[in-house]
Structure 1
């Protein structure tokens, strides 16, 4: 029997690689190994589930057994990969070795956890998977139905932190957000757009503690007491850390595969090891290189995964002949903050320019000598309807 195409990871990247490959090849055996159950769900739904009154079970769109049967995949759930031997083309797991024809690393990213002082520091939660969301959902459910009396402190005012803040505040919880920046979404938005978002979420009673960090978390009368870097204290029933993600390169690095900010892949999605490929939140795409990131960037968003999976499938079907090259087009990100809908396409690192406000609700990032050449844009409120028109005006991504 032919050796299988082996995929590590059952997130969107792993399952989308399966979908695209099966469009081209229905015969080659596929084995997918994952540390979780393997159920398919849309990860972006984790940060807007409470407002929709959906629990973990309602977020699963296709059970693991169903999707595996549909695409004729041998699924190995709850299986821990311990090592990759690229020379022998074998993946070692806790239950035995798995040989492969080609290996796809769809290992995703892990939450960044900052060290915290205090006896309750280990009670801080992160939500980066369906299992994580299950723990978070159970913790809030155990506190009862009186949502306005349940206090949630969110560490991080980036994309995920703001989405959770909107979702939880909209569901009636008392939400406070702590971030070292002086404004929310500082890495993605111009200052006036940040101010709009801050005001919109304040309208849902979100409390902002900006320009500071959480220093320690202590137990206090059945709840938690946070001491901030500015000396203030904050009471909470649950603390959620949403300060960012870091590509999971653990297995790749141990196998000697080149890694920087992510698993380094070329424009065909190949890693530095023969017959090993990568995509998703764990990959550092050469196709996303820019003046400030000449060896490529990680792109932890849905649209890059969809584009990469098509190219990967073509190259796997071509037995590694590199027949397809990944070229990213403008892919704006829709931020799930219903209090102020936002579409953002930040400039790639290294592009010189400044945010220029066209009108309140529309900003372009443009060079000073060519204000008509947008390298990025941000749209808020009703202006988000302009996203496709602006995509067509964008200069090349890199």
Structure 2
């Protein structure tokens, strides 16, 4: 029997390997990845500064350690260039040339890529993105070398706000630019966003909203001039882009796997091609993209059972997301995008509870702002229907 092959060494790839090994210690398992296969939790990158963690302290294990721990062959610094679904065969390129690898089952855990804006100026190539540990090391290196630590962040979404809070807490001067009129535009109703923004502004973070970056130019002393569409300009030591991620779908597309925003799967995480599955940030499961830790763990547990011969559909209970912004503690459970809801808000001394109620009076999502509101997380989560019920 040919091995099970996992493409990708991010949280999803390692989670599938770990869950599968709990069920089956022996069946041959191979991981193929373009990077060095260091295992680390990507969510820790956006609050490592305040935790006083150097980039070198973030990894949980290198390829050798993970290979031994999971009884898995790891082929790192290698690129899967083609999938032949009919032959169950991969074409792999590395520094050593081209080779092929047969598989019995294939798991796509290829993640997502940072969205990059088309920005002019001779400083645009110096804009950092932080989508992996190497990116983060480069960002931290430039930040450490700069005395003033003025950081301009493009994007007031979840990652942009987390980085802003982390940087501001460690002495940086942070400005956040976004085309939307409010931070966390896709997650928060406007009245909660206004309070969230105000809490972050009290720490010294500057929000420049309703505009976008047009040009980044190198100026004297190694500084950058960040020119905005509204005519304003900001001076920065470091520019960080955090405007979102796009699922990696190119490899799947070339193989004839159906894609939309992500790699399309059913509730069993199966693609349209036999024995090929998708998990993590690249997977659009039953029409839903959920690039968060809890959905990934749910997927990994279900897929491990399926790979071990027990066909299992993924179960999505209500899974709130904790935003790592200590200046404005926030927990968000977005309502399904295809459900019409009304917001009902309860003001508290240190924040608010906003409930998204559907037309039948059922709680479908919520936002908890502040420490007091956060205590309601468990109670409210239990009231929200499952996103994907526990049956196929």
- Shorter-chain TM-score bucket reads over 0.9
2:117 to 114, 118, 129: 114
Match of 1:365? 356
Residue 142 of structure 1: how far off its partner (Å): 2.2
Q: Distance in 1 between matches of 2:176 and 2:332?
A: 21
Aligned partner of 1:330 in structure 2 is 318
Q: Deviations over 1:46-103 (max 9, x none)?
A: 1001112212211112222112101100011111221111111111111411111111
Q: Is the 8 A contact 2:33 2:78 kept in 1?
A: yes
SS in 1 for 2:167: helix
- Post-superposition Cα deviations, 1:278-316, rounded to whole Å, max 9, x if no partner, equal 100000001xxxxxxxxx111100000100111101111
2: distance between equivalents of 1:211 and 1:385? 33
Q: After superposition, give the CA deviation of every residue in 1:216-260 in whole Å (9 maximum; x if it has no partner).
A: 111111211111010111111111000001100111011111000
**Residue number in structure 2 paired with 1:245:** 245
Q: Contact 1:178–1:210 at 8 Å: present in 2 too?
A: yes
The answer on whether the counterparts of 1:375 and 1:397 sit within 8 Å (CA) in structure 2 is no
SS of residue matched to 1:28: coil
Tell me if the contact between 1:181 and 1:211 (Cα under 8 Å) persists in the aligned partners. yes
* Corresponding residue SS for 1:271: coil
Partner of 1:101: 104
Report the equivalent of 2:308.
317
Show CA shifts across 1:17-46 (max 9, x none): 001111111111101011111111111001
Matches within 5 A, 1:1-398: 2-95=1-94, 96-143=99-146, 146=147, 149-221=148-220, 222-286=222-286, 296-318=287-309, 323-360=311-348, 361-367=352-358, 369-371=359-361, 373-382=362-371, 383-397=373-387
* 8 Å CA contact 1:261, 1:297 repeated in 2: no
- C-alpha distance in 1 between matches for 2:381 and 2:219: 51
Aligned mates of 1:48, 1:306 — CA distance in 2: 21
Rounded to whole Å, the distance in 2 between the matches of 1:68 and 1:388 is 37
Which range moved further: 191-200 or 229-238? 191-200
Give SS of 1:40's match: coil
Helix, strand or coil: the match of 2:125? helix
**Counterpart Cα distance in 2 of 1:381 and 1:41:** 29
How many pairs are equivalent?
379
The whole-number CA distance in structure 2 between the counterparts of 1:216 and 1:169 is 24
Matched with 1:290 is none
CA distance in 2, matches of 1:39, 1:160: 22
Partners of 2:172 and 2:377 lie apart in 1 by 32
Q: What displacement does 1:108 show?
A: 0.5
Structure 1 unaligned blocks of 5 or more: 287-295
CA distance in 2, matches of 1:377, 1:353: 11
**Large movers: runs of 4+ above 6 Å:** none
TM-score, L = length of structure 2? 0.94
Give the deviation of 1:370 after TM superposition: 4.0
Instruction: Tell me the distance in 1 between the aligned counterparts of 2:13 and 2:186.
Output: 28
Secondary structure (helix, strand or coil) at the match of 2:280 reads coil
Structure 2: runs of 5+ lacking an equivalent: none
Structure 1, 81-90 or 154-163: larger mean CA deviation: 81-90
Q: Distance in 1 between matches of 2:84 and 2:133?
A: 30
Q: Shift of residue 397 of structure 1?
A: 2.4
* CA deviation map 1:137-165 (0-9, x unaligned): 1111222xx4xx22100000000000000
User: Contact 2:317–2:385 (CA<8 Å) still a contact in 1?
Assistant: no
User: Considering only aligned residues, what root-mean-square deviation do their CA atoms show, in Å?
Assistant: 1.2
Residue 190 of structure 1 deviates from its aligned partner by: 1.7
